[in-house]
Amino acid sequence: MSLFIEGPAGPEPLWLWLNEAGLPLRPASWEGVFRTANERCEKVLAAVMGEPPFCTPHMARHSFALVMLVVLNHVMDRRMGLTPEERRDFRMLYGDPWRMVQDLLGHAQLETTKHIYLAPVADLQLRSLLADFRPADGPLSEGELTEVFARLARESEGIQDLDDQLVAR
């Protein structure tokens, strides 16, 4: 937060997230940003949804972990068309998706990633969730990826699907 470079108009912060005044946003400030956003959503959506969804920075981190796990599993299991033996060898060379998510989140222990961040899907076999998908050669389309997450929300406790909540109301 205290690193600056010389810019055309003088010193400029080298911080990625800046507040309205252009100064570095303190990490604890994210709670306030999310609280304000939740209040706006509640004000706008309460009449439409009854109980509008809310999000915290920590919930966004959990969502990131879930998205990365699904995408990494898709890339390793589907896009590359590997046999089970080749998949095992590939994972030995390049790593397991669970460990990749662990590294992305900066966790020292894989159990933290599995049992806390990805608890809603830790007991699911993602291959079975994706079994009926027959994506074209290449990555999942936006609609196919949306359906994967909608199925996860329906089949897992602790995951909310905003689209389902809007349709229900």
Q: How confident is the model at residue 139 (pLDDT cuts 50, 70, 90)?
A: low
| pTM more than 0.85 | no
What residue spans define the domains of the chain?
4-49, 57-168
First to last CA, the chain: 44
pLDDT tens profile 100-110: 889 989 999 98
Q: Is the pLDDT of residue 165 over 90?
A: no
